[in-house]
Structure formats: C-alpha cells, structure tokens
Amino acid sequence: MAELELTIAYKTKPARVGLILMGALMPVWALIVPFCLGLFLGLILLKPGQVSPLITMLVLMGLAVIPIISVVVTALCEDDRLLVSKEGLAFPLFMLPGLGFRRERLWSDLSHVRLIWNGTSNYSNHDMLLMYFRSGGCAQISLKDVSKADLEQLFLALEIWGANAQKVQEVTSFQNLLQNENKGLEHLSYTQMWEEELSRRFNATAFVPLEPGKTLQSGQLKIVRQLAFGGLSAIYLAQRDNLELVVVKEAVVPANSDQQSKDKATELFYREAQFLMRLNHPQVAKVLNYFVDDGRNYMLLEYIHGQDLRQLVKQHGAQSEAKVLSWARQIVDILLYLHGQDPPIVHRDLTPDNLVLREDGDLVLIDFGAANEFVGTATGTLVGKQAYIAPEQFRGKATTQSDIYAFGGTLYFLLTGHDPEALCQSHPRERNQDVSDKVDQLVAACTNLELSQRVPTAKEALEVIAEITTKQPVSELT
C-alpha cells in the first residue's frame, strides 16, 4: 500500500446482477425507447391536437424518464470501487443512503469500527465491516464481496490512518488471521500458525526491538508493526511522512563489542548501503536510505506487496517443474544484474523467504544481506539461513557462486516443499520423482560443495535453464 491512493474493488451481488440486467436491456432503453420518443415527437409535430395534452405529457415523460433512470442505475451498478487515501475514504454511490448521502468521509470523522464475523475464513452474507462516523451514517462493507488481498490493504489503512477510531478486539483478530491467510497459512491450525510464524520470524533477540508507534528520524518514520526479528537484527513495516509504507531493517552492534569492531561494522554498513542505493532493477527491492537514530543503525527499503515463496509453497505444496523453471529464469536474471555490478554484489541471503511473488507474476528480491554482513563483522558470528549458505560463506568468504548455491537450494525447496540439508549437494528427484533428470542435475550442479565443480556464473545457469526449457540436450554438470 505504498500508493497515496488505494482502489479497492467492491463487487456486491446486487450490483453485479443489476449491471448484467441493465446491459441486457441496453438495446431497449438506449435505442428503442429514444427511437420511440423521436417518433412520438414527430407525430405530435406533424399532427398536432390529435392526442390529448395529458396523454402527450405522460408519454413524453415516460419515454424521457426511462433512459435517464437506466443511466443512473447503470452508473450506480458500475461504481464498484472504494477509494482510500491518507485524507479519508470515498464510497461507491450505492452506499450513499446509509451514509446520509455524503460519499466522502475524512479519517478524523471515523468514530469507531465494528466487525460482524463468524470467526472463520469462509465468510457468509452476514459478515460485515461496519464503520461509524461522528457526523452520522454508517458504511457497511460485506467481507464476502472484497478480495482477501484488498481486505488486508483496507484493514492496514484502518490501522494506520484510522488509528484514532475505536476498534473492537474482533477487528485485530480478523486482521491477524487475514494476513496469515494471505501468506498461505489458512490451512494450518491456529496453534500451528502461531508456533511456525513465531519460530520463523520472531526469534530471541539480544536487544529490545522497536514497538509499534515508535518514531524515527524526527518523526518522519513511524513504526507500524514488527515483521521479523532475531539475534541482532529486526525488520519493521513503517510509514514515511504519513504517506507511503516502507520497510525498515535494523542491525545492532552488541554493546560489549570493542570500538574497533563497531567502527569497522559501521563503515561496512554505510559503504554497502550507499552502493545498494544506486541499484535500479524492477525486480530488486530498492534501498531508499540508511541512517543512525539513537545509536541504532537502520536501512530503509521499498515495501513490496505480495506473498513470499516459502509461504506459497507452504500453502500449495511443491510446485510444478515448469513453474519453477519460469521462476528460475527470473531469479537468474536478477543475479545477472547484481553480479554484473562493479564490484559485483553478493546478495548473501537468497532464500524462498526473500523472494516475493507480486500479483503481476513477477518475483522481487528483497532484504539485502548488507546488514547481516554488518552484524557478522561486529560479532564474529555468521548471520543467515544455514540450509542455503554455501561452505565458503560459512568461512566468511562469500562470492557470487555463493548466491548460485543458494539459488540451487531455493529450487530444491520449490520442487520438494522441504528445505535442503545444510552443507550438502541437493538432489530434488530423491524427494519428488516428478522432477526430471535434467532439472535434478541443474540443482545438484548449483549446490556442489566444491567451487570448481559448481555452476560458475548466473549466465551459465541461465543457459542451462534455456536448454532445459527448449528441450535441447544438457551437458553433464555433475
């Protein structure tokens, strides 16, 4: 929801039926009725006095009113958008009676929010979001008639811009469930959702993470919620200048570190963050800024709305080989761009968690490892997801081929639904017999523990993928 204005499709059943009906009747009210009106007017002009004035007036009014009413009804049915901005909301025309015929409402006018909800993800016709306004009127929005992705955006807008309105506990519970569903968790029990998400995203930290509502940079940034934290780093969703959403990544140097380690880590963090800010690729999350606030180091990144590949696989299971190869092309294209920089950029954290699938089908690589390197340098410890880290990266000597190893591990996960075993060459065909020998060879070649035998560059990985997808022979890689 980085846009200044959000458009939410709100397609109610009566509006859909009405639009279909008016479309079917369009030849009548748009052509036949005006034609009859013209004929009647012509008859009156040619033979005045033959029809009584009362009948003439009634017929003329009837023939004139039918197209007007039809146009109005069609406009009401076609207006199926709810507009949300930082100033307020604009509701569809058919909701005007319940709003006292005031279509636009400011956030300051929103007094309280209620939710009528059956407690499950299967919404009924009675499940409603109710927004009451101080100046009078209530907006009733059917949960069933809004997509879950748009519902998440609407509830996020209520959380950020409608923060002063009173909300019942059900609103928060529903928002949490909705966010988990959109991340692919709807088929898990509540206990599983809680435990798995906490273990993945919220591990123990060696510092106190920022709480929602905390401001940074003299109030320019406001923390909305914690997205993940663990060890010596944290990731937050924040709002910048009360407008767009951004991601804040925090890296902490332990207080007991010596000054030399702190200085070295800070220098590395700034140098790499400044370099990353120059990147410009549509499938790479932009690094917008870096700064220090109250002695803590932060990096500001573009907010990407979508579902990460880990949760997509958790929801739908192992993916088809054709789909994985399509994604593999996109990932390798991103690596080509990063590794083609001068000097080459090693992402260091290429995993299913850091690849977000947008609604347009494009993958976006997020969460650069700059802060991870920064923390690792300061503490002398390795930061990252072990199953995707190449042996040389464990030794603190990451290269572009380390990203190739992580790329192979990511393909393994997408094809099997399981994380690869750490520090092992991966063969997805051992878990999924539907994986072809050629793709199995590709993954094994990318995850070879020996640099000399691993796929050397993203360009060569792309060539292999092209050979597989065009059914050309693939040379033996392992």
Q: Measuring CA to CA, how many Å separate 16 from each of 239, 241, 383, 426?
A: 36, 38, 52, 51
Q: Read off the tokens for 252.
A: 């902490």
Question: Catalytic: 349?
Answer: yes
Task: For residues 77 and 424, give the distance between their C-alpha atoms in angstroms, rounded to a whole number.
Answer: 59
Give SS3 for 441: helix
Contact 364, 358 (CB under 8 A): yes
Contacts of 68 (CB under 8 A, 6+ apart): none
Name the pairing type of β-strands 104-106 and 88-90.
antiparallel
| Cα 117–chain centre separation | 24
Q: What angle do CA 195, 159, 292 make, to 5 degrees?
A: 80
The pairing of strands 104-106 and 287-293 is: unpaired
Decide: 367 and 384 in contact? Cβ < 8 Å. Answer: no
SS3 state of residue 472 = coil
Per-residue tokens: 167: 């909300």
- The strand pairing partners of 84, in sequence order, are 6, 89
Task: Quickly count: other Cβ atoms within 10 Å of residue 437's Cβ.
Answer: 9
Backbone dihedral region of 365: left (phi > 0), alpha (psi from -120 to 50 degrees) or beta? beta
Question: What span, in angstroms and rounded, lies between the C-alpha atoms of 311 and 349?
Answer: 17
Q: Dmax of the chain from CA atoms?
A: 106
Radius of gyration of the chain (CA): 29
- Report which of 242, 364, 359 is spatially closest to residue 303, judged by C-alpha positions: 364
C-alpha to C-alpha distance for 303 and 383, rounded to whole angstroms: 23
Catalytic: which of 109, 127, 145, 349?
A: 349
Output the DSSP codes for 396-417.
T---HHHHHHHHHHHHHHHHHS
Q: Identify the CA nearest to 413 among candidates 337, 308, 338, 343.
A: 308
Residue whose structure tokens are 């034609």 = 35
Cα gap 212→450, rounded to integer Å: 45
Is residue 432 a contact partner of residue 447, using CB atoms and an 8 Å limit? no
Whole-angstrom Cα distance, residue 289 to residue 278? Answer: 10
Q: How far apart are CA 311 and CA 212, in angstroms?
A: 24
* Active site amino acids: 349
